[in-house]
Every structure is written in C-alpha cells, then in structure tokens.
C-alpha cells in the first residue's frame, strides 16, 4: 500500500466534498456542504441501526452504514445537482451512471496490493445500496436520506423559507410507506410530523401536503 498516496487521496476527497455546497437553488440560512450532509446521514443511520436491531429486523448494518458514509462522495467531482433535475427522466439514468463511474474512478487510484480489488468492490457495493428498492438495506438507506432532507427543510421553514415545504411534499408519501415497515423510520418521522404540526395546517395545505395519514397528530386549525 502506498501510504503517501492514501494520505493524499483521503485529504483531497474530504476537501472536495467539503467544498460542495447543497441547496443552492433555494434561499436558505443554514449552510450545508456534502461533508456535513454525509455526517448527518451517518448519525441518523446509527440511530436507525440501533432501533432496528432491537426491533429484530434482519439486515447488514455494516453495509447500511457504509452506504450512508459513501453515497455522495461522487459529488466531490460532479458537484451537487438539484433533486428535481437529478430525478428528471431525461437525465436521471445518465447522471447516475456518471456519478457511479466517478466514484469507482476515485478508489481505483489507491494501491492496496493484492487487496486492491477487495477494497474497491467494498466501496462499489456500498454505493449500489442507494439504487436498491427491494433490499432492507436499500429501503432503510433511502428512508434515512429522505428523512435528512425533511429535517433540513424543517429547519429552513422555521426561518420563514416556506419554499422548503416542497421538500416535505416530495418525500411524505415515501416516508409514510417506510414508517409502516420500519420502527425506526416511524419514530423519527413522527417527530418530524410533530414539528410540522407546529407550522400550522394552513401552510401545509397551501402546498398540497397530505395530512390524512396521522390526522390525530395534525389537527385542522
């Protein structure tokens, strides 16, 4: 293993994701870069892992935590792309392929001798989790990432940036579905819903937010 190469690799990688700012298309108070987002995702994942293990859910905790740590490393090269653009059917598949290629290219630079392929495969496998819709790890990861979006949006809505209600609307249906399957997601999202209750239903309804799932938790004004 080339120690100096690894040192340079780690330093450059962290600096890259630290320099990529998120939410640039929205007026916002709280600055969040990809490094900060990744750390928040890791912390949320640790909470989810602890709860789901206690609840008896069968899954690969290491793989899930690795996915949380690694999922946005490719943005250190291609930059942060707005959610609605990233999910536009005209470019979605191409952008995902480019980000995955750049991710793989980063780790191919570091030499671990006979273990190089093993290390690269480990990182590639963790990156693939976010693409999975059926596996428990994939579902939990996507729920965690969407919870992160909602939590950030709520902070900004508290600062009168109502445009972030769009974020709540975008992820509510999915998080309701995940909440019905996983104890950890239900517990965390219920806290988010309690926060939304303080916003007032008039703001939520103005942006077509569906409140019927937990009507007993969010009462009409």
| 110 close to 6: Cβ distance less than 8 angstroms | yes
Domains of the chain with CATH codes: 3-206 (1.10.3210.10)
pLDDT per residue, tens digit, the chain (221 aa), is: 444 477 777 888 888 878 777 777 777 777 878 888 899 999 999 999 999 999 999 999 999 999 999 888 877 665 556 656 666 667 667 776 776 777 777 776 778 888 888 988 898 899 899 889 999 999 999 999 999 999 999 999 988 888 888 889 889 889 999 999 999 999 999 999 888 877 766 667 666 676 665 554 544 33
Helix%, strand%, coil% for the chain, nearest 5: 70, 0, 30
Contact call for residues 165 and 186 (beta carbons, < 8 A): no
Q: What is the pTM of this model?
A: 0.82
Structure tokens, 127: 């990156």
- Among candidates 90, 114, 94, which has minimal Cα distance to 102? 94
Distance, CA of 128 to CA of 75 (rounded, Å): 15
- Judged by DSSP in three states, 21 sits in strand
């Amino acid at each position: 293993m080339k120690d100096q190469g690894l040192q340079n690799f780690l330093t450059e990688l962290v600096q890259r994701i630290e320099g990529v700012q998120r939410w640039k298309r929205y007026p916002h108070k709280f600055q969040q870069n990809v490094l900060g987002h990744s750390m928040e995702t890791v912390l949320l994942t640790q909470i989810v892992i602890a709860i789901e293990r206690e609840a008896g859910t069968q899954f690969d905790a290491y793989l899930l935590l690795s996915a949380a740590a690694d999922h946005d490393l490719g943005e250190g090269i291609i930059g942060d792309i707005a959610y609605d653009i990233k999910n536009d059917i005209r470019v979605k598949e191409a952008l995902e392929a480019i980000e995955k290629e750049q991710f793989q290219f980063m780790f191919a630079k570091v030499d671990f001798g006979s273990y190089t392929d093993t290390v690269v495969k480990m990182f590639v496998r963790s990156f693939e989790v976010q693409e999975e819709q059926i596996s428990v790890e994939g579902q939990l990861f996507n729920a965690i990432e969407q919870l992160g979006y909602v939590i950030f949006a709520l902070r900004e809505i508290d600062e009168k940036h109502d445009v972030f209600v769009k974020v709540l609307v975008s992820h509510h249906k999915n998080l309701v579905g995940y909440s019905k399957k996983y104890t950890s997601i239900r517990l965390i999202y219920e806290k988010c819903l309690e926060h939304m209750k303080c916003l007032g239903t008039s703001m939520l309804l103005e942006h077509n937010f569906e409140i019927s799932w937990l009507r007993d938790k969010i009462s009409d004004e």
